[in-house]
Structure 1
Amino acid sequence: MKKENLRTPWGPAEKESWFKEQTIKRSYNDEVVTKIMKLKETYDVSQYGALSLNTQKYPVFLIKSKNFDPAKKTVLITGGVHGYETSGVHGALLFMEKYAAGYTDTFNFICTPCVSPWGYETINRWNNLAIDPNRSFYANSPAEECSLFLKAIADQKTPIFVHFDLHETTDTDNSVFRPALAARDGKEEKFSEIPDGFYVVGDTSNPQKGFQKAVIDEVRKVTHIAPADEEGNLIGVKMEDDGVVYYDMKKLFLCGGFSDAEYSTTTEVYPDSPKVTAENCNLAQVAAVRGGLNYVKSRI
């Protein structure tokens, strides 16, 4: 991309042009909603809203423990904040389907498996307004996906004790997203190598290093952990522990920082690695949740 093209940030016309270039590549209803509906016998499944872009096509759902017990700690699992990050969605659903029951003696569960359904269908990081949802978790958010989610969680009137936000880092982060971001904002984006392997992002204000390590140790049984680059970094940030970096979650308005959870982690799977399959990526997300929950359970 030529530098002269980066002088003027996008206005409404450019954003509308970008939106019209996006195409539907897979079915949210067939691949996600049908799986959510199958969980109705086990959980309370409710629709907490729909994207105004197409309310019939893009409903959003909350999966919640039946017989919700206020005496238990509450675990939140979010997937599909970036809709294109497939294993975040299907890893969340797989955990709820096959593994959550093993922890219900200790925890209540709330799961929003696909926060960004339009992004899921178009395999997109942004929403239809060219907004990154995972920089938009704040009051009166311009990202409808975030405002619907925040209201739904607030309506539960229960503190979140553990939060797993399930993500991926893909090759398209560099080949598609960064060039688009540079064009949208009118400024160059610093390049950083995509890590080959799994890693997590903790919160600088509440690192919970033992918790992050427990997540990594469990995932290591399923797939490989990302090594640091030549400068000791992952995604341009210093790697503090094996497979662990930290962000200021609240300053960046990330999903992982909205709740003040005692324990929180954002997972990052690398689905483009030749060492993994789609199933392996889903299982890595499940392992991350299980590793974190086993750690927390041992301490309460």
Structure 2
Amino acid sequence: MSAKTYSTSGVNADADADPDAASSSIAKNTTEALNGIDFPPDSRHRLLLPNSGTETVGDDRRPLVICFHGSGESCSPSWDGLVGLLRGAPLSLRVFMYDRREENTGVVGTVGEMWEYLRKEGIRGPYVVVAHSYGGAFARGFVETDGDEEVVGVVLVETGQEGGLDAEVEERQYGRRILGTKPLSVVRGNSLIRQWEDLRKAEAAVEVGDELKRGQLRQRRGMLEVWDKADEEMKRKQLGLVEKKGKKRFVQVPDCGHHVVRDRPDVVAEEVAWVLENVGKIEDIEDDDNEDGVTERNREDVIGRKKKERLWGVWGRFKRKLLGLKM
């Protein structure tokens, strides 16, 4: 397993800035990539082809990214910036934006409807699943019912705390390690970013000698640290969906709140690229490695290479893999 922490990139890092809007400029710029798309009348479901164009749909074998949005929202406009990055060069991926019906919020019903829709429309894999927040429950159900093994990798963004699954179902998924050795990236935002910022402002405003107030703030900081640790543990637990030798990594985005897909689409697009790079690869671990196969001795992660070089090579390598050509 590898780990990565993203620093602020192209956003306003001023401590007084609105944390959730800190990356609005990125979302705004990437949303422009969607201009000119002729969406079908039934806008609940959108199959978007790469900007480079293609003459086929069902027979197109380039990866298809399936978007699982969170609760109380739809894929658009929250996902528009990410979709623009995924469809554009150098990734040039197909994207399927599937909006859940308000009256059908159950995991089993929704997942069944999705598989039926994909088969009916002839929308084939390989699939890369990307889920945000409550969408994580649906994504896991989708992967678990993938009888044809068309899912090749998963990116889970700010998931793990959403509920939505029966406890027995959840434990079964972990027990079976439903992803097998498919690559998994778990992306964690800073869900408590507002609370931390409010605390820092309160601490800075304490008057000299006001020990009562200072003590109250110490208790408040201690509680935030407890909550923060619990949040990280819940999200790290999802790495257990992959077998010990499977490729997986835990990514942290400290400058962004819960809405990482909306505010840092660049991060999510890079994790999709990482997943595609690692399709079919496994970790070189030994029996004495720790309980979840995590070992830090193996590598300096591929993220150390320049992003541009890696992104440009993703589709070419993945296409060769699909065609069975020598890498």
Give me the TM-score of the superposition, normalised by structure 2. Answer: 0.38
Higher radius of gyration, 1 or 2? 2
Give me the TM-score of the superposition, normalised by structure 1. Answer: 0.41
Name the one with the larger helix percent.
2
Relative contact order: is structure 1 or structure 2 higher (C-alpha 8 Å, sep ≥ 6)?
Answer: 2
